[in-house]
Amino acid sequence: MTRARILHLHSTFDLGGKEARTVKLMNHFGDAAEHTVLVGDNEALGARDAIDSVIDVDFPGDAAPSLLGKPALGRYRKLIAYFKNFDLILSYNWGSMDGVMAHKLLGGGKDVPPLIHHEDGFNEDENEKLNWKRNWFRAGALRSSNALVVPSKTLEDIALNIWKQPKGKLQRIPNGIDVDAYRKPPEANTIPGLDTQKGEIVIGTVAGLRRVKNLPRLIRAVSQAGSHVRLVIAGEGPARAEIMAEADRTGMSDHVIMPGFLSGPHRYVGLFDIFALSSDSEQYPISLVEAMAAGCAVVSTDVGDVRHIVAEANKPYIIPRSNEAELAAAIKALVKDSGLRSKLALANAELAQREYRADTMFERYRQLYGDAMGLKDFARHGR
């Protein structure tokens, strides 16, 4: 069997939402494909460890053309020459847009593979308002893509109304998970440093330690919930020192646990009594869906599709991101009321079982990628 050669274009490959989905798809496709991951920042490769050892994957680093640099035809020619080694190009978010523009300007030849772009959200520099120059660049570059994939209704509206992409090109594929894995009881001792005492409440989040996640906001909110609360922040990233400084400033140092990146969230997310998000920007956070499947009550800022993802009973605890006092009050209310936590946890778990299954997501991506490559049965028997 000839394996599909797939090139992935990422600005970074630390384990965030888009990287987690990419890894899950790689692992699911198994030996139907071989993968090359071109990363703008070759030091940011935390998600690499989550790829199954049997998957054929290469990280070429400096041996491949760079995704970084000013737009220039010389750079674009190098990228196009490299693209010709593959059957399909998969690009992700703004950090890959030079690759998309190269494909648009110079990818007209028959030996240049199709390109499918994925947009999952924005960094802190576009929290308040989208950058008009980037909107213009995206609108032009995406014209030659075979498809544009988004996980959320919010991003679908942006793609149609701001980036002016044709509806027929747009694919909204919600992120799915192995919900059955989250029905199993969590494993003890999977979170280093977490040793709860009787009566303690564990609030947890899984997030890249980046400013857009605004984890200092979460620390301030949790600090008002009582001395019997522990906060777990699972993830790694450049804002670690800033987050730890806020824990020191608020007197939370002994209550905040930052174990770094933890693989297999199904093993530990169920240890959280409450799952919390404090982000300034999200679109369709997969960590939220994982927490729901594990049976967590949720408190979150009202960003992206979060309000549309949680169960109806949980919607009152989705708080305007500018209202930190209300976020703290919502956390405090759930900390105090175990019956309410249980009610929301059950509603979220039931919704996740119905709506957010990975097998549905896998089938849609399998068909989309296979159709682009002209492979009708691509990865039909995925792992």
Q: Quick: pLDDT tens for 92-125.
A: 999 999 999 999 999 988 899 999 999 998 876 7
Asked if the model's pLDDT at residue 134 lies above 90, the reply is yes
pLDDT confidence bin for 220, thresholds 50/70/90: very high
- The pLDDT of residue 1: 58
- The pLDDT of residue 379: 83
d(CA 55, CA 33): 8
Q: Model confidence over 158-215: pLDDT tens digits?
A: 999 999 999 999 999 988 899 999 999 999 889 988 887 788 999 999 999 999 999 9
Q: What does the pLDDT average to over 348-377?
A: 94
Q: List the helix and strand counts (H, then E) for the chain.
A: 12, 13
Q: What does the mean pLDDT of the chain come to?
A: 93
CA-angle at 228, arms to 227 and 234, nearest 5°: 100
| Phi, psi of 229, rounded to the nearest 5 degrees | -105, 135
Residue 299: strand pairing partners? 276
- The pLDDT of residue 2: 79
- The pLDDT of residue 130: 86
Q: Model confidence over 4-46: pLDDT tens digits?
A: 999 999 999 987 788 989 999 999 999 999 999 999 999 999 9
Residue ranges, comma separated, of all CATH 3.40.50.2000 domains in the chain are 4-176+357-373, 179-355
pLDDT confidence bin for 54, thresholds 50/70/90: very high
Q: Spell out a b/e string for 152-181, using b for 16 or more CB atoms within 10 Å of the CB, else e.
A: bebbbebbbeebebeeebbbebbbbbbbee
Asked if the model's pLDDT at residue 324 lies above 90, the reply is yes
Identify the CATH class of 4-176+357-373. alpha beta
- According to CATH, the topology of domain 179-355 is Rossmann fold (3.40.50)
d(CA 21, CA 322): 29
